[in-house]
Amino acid sequence: MLLSLDAATVRFGGRAVLDGVGLEVVEHEVVCVLGPSGSGKSTLLRAVAGLQPLHSGRVLLDGRDQAGVPAHKRGVGLMFQDHQLFPQRDVGANVAFGLRMRGVGKGERDGEVGKLLELVGLPGAARRAVAGLSGGEQQRVALARALAPRPRILMLDEPLGQLDRSLRERLVVELRELFGRLGTTVLAVTHDQGEAFALADRVVVMRDGRIAQTGTPLEVWQRPADAFVARFLGFDNVAGATVAGAAADSPWGKLPVPDGSAQGNRTVLVRPAGVRLRPADQGLPCTVTARTFKGTHVSVLLQPEDAPRLEAACALRDAPEAGATVGVEFDAAEIVVLD
Amino acid sequence: MALPVAFFALFFAWPVAAIVTRGLKVDGVWRLGRILDVVTQPDIRHVLWFTTWQALASTALTLLLALPAAYVFARLDFPGRQLLRAVVTVPFVLPTVVAGSAFLALVGHNGLLDELWGVRLDTTVWAILLAHVFFNYAVVVRTVGGLWSQLDPRQVEAARMLGASPSAAWRKVTLPALAPAVAAAALMVFLFTFTSFGVVQILGGPTFSTLEVEIYRQTTDVFDLSTAAVLTLLQFAAVGAILAVHAWTVRRRETALRLVDPNTTARRPRGAGQWALLAGVLGTVALLLVLPLAVLVRRSFESPGLGSYRALTDADGGTFLVAPVTAVWTSLQYAVAATAIAVVIGGLAAAALARRDAGRLVRSFDALLMLPLGVSAVTVGFGFLIALDEPPLDLRQSWILVPLAQALVGAPFVVRTMLPVLRAVDARLREAAAVLGASPWRVWREVDLPMVRRALLVAAGFAFAVSLGEFGATVFIARPDNPTLPVAVARLLSRPGEVNYGQAMALSTILMVVCAAALLVLERLRTDRTGEF
């Protein structure tokens, strides 16, 4: 086990920012910690890096307790959210910094810097000033700088957070490909589920300093552990329901649920694709309050008479106008009873 | 942290304790009741009152006159700016005795104003206040202007785009960013004027007397060590209280600032307002700073055929064992040693104080570190003399004694100059370096040092200047055969006769030139090193 956290706890003035977190990362694995701001993600990275002392619990690297090991001796890499490039050094000197700290000679350093800059797509940029870089270029330099000393584990704090959308989508693919090629072990944190799912072998969802769920992106997407995770992933059709057999009694009326669903008082999740629009006289009557074009489909917001709002996904040509009255039926295949 | 603490314990706390013991303990018995006796004396009460209000008035006047200059030097680009910046700093490093005489020659009996218009200020408090401005102008210009020149002008531009008028942008953006530096400068000016000695001694006459003058008078004229010790304690307490309040307020206001290259922020003056401001500042500098020095220089050349300067090389002048001119070399050596000590001690202390996670104990050291500034230099010198002359630490014969005393006075300047800039360095840059494998020492060298190199050079310049001009402490411990420049000047001034006066003026002029040269070199150094390697 390359990295393990054992009941790691950090308190700021009595409030637990990390609350008994247990987490393991194996070699070559890319793990993404996903959570809203204030959930303790960044503190988790700082604790592993040795920048934030633990109140209790342990951080182990290669099975060795890191208590008392200062940040500069842990051999981990951390890419800061806003990069924190050294302003009075040029690109090459920034990338070479970690190698210099390890006493690598100048010739070898220069060769390594050249290779790394090529790797991140900035060949020949070594003499450029940091102040003149665009956001995406800064991000690449920060990545090269973090990779240079070959850290045992590379940690990324909101790696693509400040970049514009198209760049983010391109870089996330590049990163994934790069880490796969280099076999880098990565622990990243982000609040963006798309980023996490695209980057990670395994996703860890955090809430208020605790781990709410871990699993592959597919597992987490298909079976969110609870209402919080479901809502955080962007599912809004979540409600309490009483499950009996293959039906659930919910605010939206009787819902069909898959065979083998847990019974009793539960939380049910209805994916937007499972909300089927029908003529007004069939199923649950709703008013269309808004429709948003999402590229591949149209998201339609529906307001039933006395039940929570529903989100439906439908094809563009089937989408009703705002203000229209429709009926709604549900598809068991797109309904999940949460444990 | 351990080194600065040890330094101040050994060379400050101990001598002060020694002098207090010497003063308050009579025949092995403490006589603390003396404190009340002394304070209730009407003439002492008068001295306390005058010390306080003249310091407040001097500080207010200095800020009023020097803050526009801080702006001009930081933001306006004009020919001769570098030279003028150094010129402004020269008065600060002149021995108080010389500055006092210069003002006497300007506004006193038979002075320039007296000759021209029959105006004399030496019987009023204005002479003292103006001399205090003369001395402390540079403190405000350098402390506030140094930070001002590094503030990102785009902050103001952003405020303007959000609808702020120029004055609103100044009040809401620039002023809050400058506040810590203004507070630090105001504190320094207040401390210097509160403990003013030479200026008041010469310009105050029998009417005006500060605490410091009174301590000196009690020690040397009345030989009442007990009263002197009590007054020292009072001064100590007052200064300690001011410093504690200051440290508290500054901690509340210092924020991480975006610092930029100062060379990019200065612009040519635009519009009538800026030209008028520039003219006003230049006029103030000419009248208040240059004119007294010009009078001083003229006096040094008054005896025919450079007689005053020729006399400096004669060893048989009778005043010294050596030619007065050797004092120049001695002073330089002492000042270099003192600067090195002050920069190391002050730099380490500032680095420890700048840490955001610094404990309360460490932070209270901030105020403690400033105490040598507030305690009279006379006390430090006298304390050195009686505390460091016996085993285990007998330094009476060592040359290091003088630099140590001067470093003690210079180190707080280093801390004051370094701390605001160090605190403004983003802590996450240090963390980034640490994660990349830099030990705490390397972090300081690789991250902090390049960013504060400017401030460090300014601090070193200040420490050097202070050491070079230090008088109150040095006069007690400098050996007779190795006087420093200010000591030599004072000794020459204390002797009657035109020749001695001329020599004093000539030596002062040399001191002035040395300081100006040192500062000009520093200014060069500061602007040339823009790159990292």
3-state secondary structure B180-213: HHHHHHHHHHHHHHHCCCHHHHHHCCCCCCCHHH
Contact at CB, A71 and B435, closer than 8 angstroms: yes
Identical fold at B1-31+306-533 and B48-94+122-299?
A: yes
- Superfamily of domain B48-94+122-299, CATH level 4: MetI-like (1.10.3720.10)
* pLDDT cut 90: percent of chain B above it: 2
Q: Do A102 and B438 touch (CB under 8 A)?
A: no
A5 within 8 A of A48, measured Cβ to Cβ = yes
CB contact under 8 A, A149 and B436: yes
A98 touches B at CB < 8 Å = yes
From the CA of A105, how many Å to the nearest CA of chain B?
15
Residue B240 burial class via C-beta count within 10 angstroms: exposed 0-12, middle 13-18, buried 19 and up: middle
For B89-124, letters b (16+ CB in 10 Å) and e give bbbbbbbbbbbbbbbbbbbbeebbbbeeeeeebbee
Which A residues, 149 through 188, put their C-beta within 8 Å of a C-beta on chain B? Answer: 149
Residue B106: pLDDT over 90:
no
* Two tokens, residue A145: 């700088």
ipTM of this predicted structure:
0.80
Nearest to B435 among A76, A82, A90 (CB): A76
Q: How far apart, in whole angstroms, are the C-alpha atoms of residue A337 and residue A259?
A: 10
Q: Is A106 on the interface with B (CB under 8 A)?
A: no
pLDDT of residue B124: 76
pLDDT at res. B528: 41
Answer yes or no: do B442 and A72 touch at CB < 8 A.
Answer: yes
Indicate the average pLDDT of chain B. 75
Contact A149 B432 (CB under 8 A): no
Inspect the interface and report whether the beta carbons of A97 and B429 lie closer than 8 Å: no
Q: Chain A interface, mutation test: which of B154, B436, B447, B453, most A Cβ atoms within 10 Å?
A: B436
Shortest Cα distance from A174 to chain B (angstroms)? Answer: 23
Q: Are strands A310-314 and A298-304 parallel, antiparallel or unpaired?
A: antiparallel
Q: In chain B, what are the domain boundaries?
A: 1-31+306-533, 48-94+122-299
For chain A, 339 residues long, give each residue's pLDDT as a single digit of tens: 889 999 999 998 888 899 999 999 999 999 999 998 888 888 999 999 888 889 999 999 998 998 888 888 888 989 988 888 888 788 999 999 989 888 888 889 999 999 999 988 888 888 998 888 888 888 889 999 999 988 999 999 988 877 778 888 888 888 899 898 889 999 999 988 888 898 999 999 999 999 999 999 999 988 898 999 999 888 889 999 999 888 899 999 889 998 888 888 999 999 998 999 988 888 889 999 998 888 888 999 999 988 889 999 988 888 888 888 999 999 988 899 987
State how far the Cα of B77 lies from the Cα of B86, in Å rounded to an integer.
Answer: 15
Contact B518/B527 with Cβ under 8 angstroms? no
Please answer yes or no on whether B428 and A80 come within 8 Å at the CB atom.
yes
Calpha distance B501→B299 (Å, rounded): 9
Inter-chain residue contact B438 with A149, CB threshold 8 Å: no
pLDDT for B306 equals 67
- How confident is the model at residue B255, as a pLDDT? 54
Q: Tell me how close the Cα of B422 comes to any Cα of chain A, in angstroms.
A: 15
CB contact under 8 A, A86 and B435: no
CB atoms under 10 Å from CB of A234, counted, come to: 10
B442 touching chain A per CB within 8 A = yes
Q: What is the largest CA-CA distance in chain B?
A: 73
Closest in A51, A88, A101 to B437, CB measured: A101
B260 touches chain A (CB under 8 A): no
How far is the CA of B393 from the CAs of A114, B305, B381, B384, in angstroms? 58, 49, 16, 11
- Cα–Cα distances (Å) from B194 to A317, B47, B253, B468, in that order, read 84, 11, 25, 21
What is the pTM for the complete model shown? 0.65
The Cβ-side half-sphere exposure at B156, using a 13 Å CA radius, reads: 19
Taking the Cβ of residue B390 and every Cβ of chain A, the question of whether any pair is shorter than 8 Å is answered with: no
- Chain B residue with the nearest C-alpha to that of A149: B436
CATH class of the structural domain B1-31+306-533: mainly alpha
pLDDT for position B274: 78
Put simply, whether B432 touches A (Cβ < 8 Å) is: yes
B456-491 pLDDT per residue, tens: 887 888 788 778 877 777 777 777 777 788 778 777
- Note the pLDDT tens digit of each residue in B166-192: 777 777 777 777 877 788 788 878 888
Cα–Cα distance measured from residue B494 to residue B488, given in angstroms and rounded to the nearest whole number: 10
Give how far B14 is from chain A: nearest CA, Å: 37
> Which chain B positions have a beta carbon within 8 Å of A78's beta carbon?
431-432, 435
Residue among B533, B452, B444 at smallest CA distance from A106: B533
Please, what's the b/e burial string for B207-222 (b: 16 or more CB within 10 A of its CB; e: otherwise)? ebbbbbbbbbbbbeee
The two structure tokens encoding residue B287: 């009248």
Tokens of A105: 């000679």
Lowest mean pLDDT among A293-307, B207-221, B277-291, B336-350: B207-221
Instruction: Find tokens 């951080």 and name the residue.
Output: A59
**B314 reaches A (C-beta below 8 A):** no
Residue with token string 């500055």: B99
Q: How far apart are CA B141 and CA B375, in angstroms?
A: 24
CB neighbour list of residue A93: distance below 8 Å, 6 or more residues apart: A86, B532, B533
Looking at B376-426, list the stretches that DSSP marks H as alpha helix, in order from N- to C-terminal side: 377-387, 401-423
Q: Which of A65-74, B121-130, B321-330 has the lowest mean pLDDT?
A: B321-330
The rounded percent of chain B whose pLDDT value lies above 70 is 74
User: Chain B contact for A86, CB < 8 A?
Assistant: yes
